[in-house]
Amino acid sequence: MSLSKKQKDWLEQNAPHGSNLANVPEELSTEEFWLEAVQKFYGALQYVPEAMKTEAVCLAAVQQNGRALAYVPEALKTEAFCIEAMKHLAISSESGDMGGYGVGLIKTGEKG
């Protein structure tokens, strides 16, 4: 299913201003709408209603930027999901710094 013209127009006007996504009109708020929103701006995931934070929506946000993992419901934070997030973190080429992300993000179950 694709977005309606009204949904596309609303996203076009408001997605660049992330905080506007907190005020999505209820009639526009569909899973498809949010999928498109997180593909444009990973931070949109923080505004997605909990009922619409599906695996597809959350994965799309994490693939846009691994930092979106902060807004993924705990039930979806599997090892595979966390690994996907790690693949999409911006890492400084000089220091290897991930901005504080990554430490303790993945529990592998390895025994020392």
pLDDT tens figures, 13-40 = 987 777 889 999 999 999 999 999 999 8
Q: Which is more confidently placed, 45 or 14?
A: 45
User: What is the enclosing helix (H) or strand (E) of 10?
Assistant: helix 5-14
Q: What pLDDT, on the 0 to 100 scale, is given for residue 1? A: 64
User: For the residues 37-52, what does the mean pLDDT come to?
Assistant: 93
User: For the residues 92-104, what does the mean pLDDT come to?
Assistant: 44
Question: To which residue do tokens 């009204």 refer?
Answer: 6
Q: What pLDDT, on the 0 to 100 scale, is given for residue 19? A: 81
Residue 109 pLDDT more than 90? no
Give the pair of three-digit tokens for residue 75: 């039930």
Q: What is the DSSP string of 70-81?
A: GGS-GGG--HHH
Average pLDDT, the chain: 82
Q: What pLDDT, on the 0 to 100 scale, is given for residue 90? A: 60
Cβ distance 69 to 100 under 8 Å? no
